[in-house]
A and B are shown apart, each in its own frame.
Chain A
Amino acid sequence: MAWFEGKRAELIGDFAPRVLTAAFGPVPRRMGKADLSLEPADLAAAETARPGWRAGGLTVDQAARIVLLLDAANAAGSFTERLKSLAATADVGELIAIYKGLPLYPEPATLVPLATEGLRTAMRGVFEAVAHQNPFAAEHFPQSAWNHMVLKALFIDSVLYPIVGLDQRWNEELAKILVDYAHERWAAHRPVASELWRGVGRFADAAAVADLVRVLTDGDEREQKAAALALSESRRPEAAVALGRRRDLADAVAAGDMTWSDVRG
């Protein structure tokens, strides 16, 4: 901790880029990588300080690196440019920390290109640092970037439920993309994630409802639940008819006994 406080004092006192670079790298070696242990009160304080921010998934080294970045945020010069130059030579752990800190940085609108660059990574942990437990995407991504983030999460066998703002940002375009992706998977005889249908129900056209009916009939238990939930969100009459044939699932949805959190992963 003395090392950390010393580096913080240096950064706050007389900022120089090389001080940040030199301090940023060795953080895990100095402070370890344990999961940050936060009490419910800490999490509540985090939510108050920054609504939507999920501090629960951080490790000690990630939190410490974000603190160093914020200490450097008051120095003269563009924070965004500094962050971009740091990201250009970052190792995997550094990239994850940089992206997990996105909700806390100044000038968020100027950080969108850096954030979407994080979606293009081939490293899953880096992608999930942007996509999961992070309100930045829902708040700042244009629709195209948002849609491709959701699709890529499915594409790399990641999960959708930790995406912050998921239900607020479903859209018709994304529903079409997801249905196309399901068909592509079926054609290749590969499984389709149940969570995919979460974005389909409220925008389903007749063909998509037919897909959902097929899943309701032929899917495994989790897929049937997902299809029932999606059909319950559709206003099309044939959706109601199909759901009527599965009263058990329809009643569970209506009673609130079954939600999208039951079809995670």
Chain B
Amino acid sequence: MDEASGRDPSGFASRPAEVSSPGRDISCPCCGRALTVEQIASLKAQLAAEPALRNDLPVGMMFVDPHCHMIARTTDDYTAMAAAGVVAVVEPAFWLGQARTNIGSYVDYLSHIIGFERYRAGQFGIRHYCTVGLNSKEANNEALAEAVMDILPSFAGKEGVVAIGEIGYDDQTALEDKYLRAQIELAKDLDLPIMIHTPHRDKKRGTTRTMDVLIEHKFDPTRCVIDHNNEETVREVLDRGFWAAFSIYPGAKMGNVRMTEIARQYGPERIIVDSACDWGVSDSMALPKTARLMIERGIPLEVIRKVTYENALAVYGLNGEMKAADWLEPVAIDQRTLYSGNSVLRGGQTPRITEPGRASPSLEIA
């Protein structure tokens, strides 16, 4: 608790348990008589035993979740994300949980994430951006991969496309290597940043190898995010000048207690938190929950703001497609056709963490 301001460092107003201070007269709400020191101590003990409010965030707090596969999520996710302060998401092109068999379904997928998903997000007041690319799993189907490489340039210039990604290694095969290199060159040609997917298996060596290839191709590390980091990879990624992203994904990539300690140890520079929420057991509330946990564990608000908002905006805003004005002061045509959010209204509201779809107590559906 910051004694001078009467507020705790998290920026919250003091909680009830912290209001009374010993030595000041406090009257009983029933009879008006001054409470004894013992009675005050007993009340404080009772209040402290109450579960703390864990669902509110500081007024006006905003999040950019730079890794969400929203096509796999429901409207409940969008509703909960908007209520929790998520103003923008980046949807990286990836595989769909199973392999596509032809280029037509890849074209339709990319059209979907630049088109309908962007529109759908807008209906919930969330701005949607995406990356386009050939993922490492499907790079192993050479016929498909060649066809995807042919169509990528025509998608890379669309509105809302902020990077080439997510690309990288899965099993670190020769074909994966070939198309990783080809897409690094494509990103250079098109002047786009890159989002790297690091492999789940053989992660440490796979991550090092990916960065070696990027450097070999003279790709500027300040324009490249290495995603799905952990404690074993973060040091090298930061030392080599790349952005280091962490996916708060239950049971896998990174947990948010561990994330809090990484933020404490490495500070906020070039660190990015994302949810990577997709069709698996994952959490679209990962950013607000992590921010809340970080506040409770004493990470300063400006650090949290950097790792959950500013850094993602900085790197994925490099090509000019994503900017804070998109949600803070959207242009009229977007308001009419694409984006139904009212950020002015939202700015004065308290972001609140809810579980998607579990907010309504009513059985009635009108």
Contacts and interface: CB of A to CB of B under 8 A. Distances in A.
A123 B19 CA distance: 51
Contacts of A122: 116, 119
B92 interface: no
B320 interface: yes
B237 interface: no
Q: Which 3 A-B pairs have the closest CB atoms?
A: A125-B337, A25-B157, A91-B158
B9 interface: no
B110 interface: yes
A73 to B, nearest CB: 20
B71 to A, nearest CB: 13
Nearest to B118: A92
A95 interface: yes
Interface of B: 107, 110-111, 114-116, 118-119, 151, 153-155, 157-160, 320-321, 331-334, 336-338, 366
A88 B338 contact: no
Contacts of A92: 114-115, 118-119, 159, 337-338
A90 interface: yes
A89 B157 CA distance: 11
Contacts of B157: 22, 25-26
Contact of B333 (A26, A33, A124): A33
20 contacts: A21-B154, A22-B153, A26-B157, A29-B159, A33-B334, A34-B333, A35-B333, A90-B111, A90-B115, A91-B118, A91-B158, A92-B114, A92-B118, A93-B159, A93-B337, A95-B115, A125-B119, A125-B336, A128-B337, A189-B366
B159 A25 contact: yes
Nearest to A29: B320
A89 B107 contact: yes
Interface in A214-255: none
Contacts of A29: 159, 320-321
Contacts of B114: 91-92
A28 interface: yes
B115 A123 contact: yes
Contact of A88 (B111, B116, B321, B336): B111
B331 A123 contact: no
A94 B331 CA distance: 17
Contacts of B332: 35
A96 interface: yes
Contacts of B336: 125
A44 B159 CA distance: 32
B151 A89 contact: yes
Contacts of B158: 25, 91, 94
A155 to B, nearest CB: 16
Given A25-B159, A92-B115, A92-B119, 12 more contacts: A18-B154, A25-B157, A25-B158, A28-B159, A89-B111, A90-B115, A91-B158, A92-B114, A92-B118, A92-B337, A125-B119, A125-B336
A116 interface: no
Nearest to A58: B333
A215 B115 CA distance: 40
Contacts of A125: 119, 336-338
A91 B337 contact: no
A125 B119 CA distance: 9
A172 to B, nearest CB: 33
A147 interface: no
Interface string A69-102: 0000000000000000000111111111000000
A259 interface: no
A59 interface: yes
B352 to A, nearest CB: 28
A91 B159 contact: yes
B330 to A, nearest CB: 10
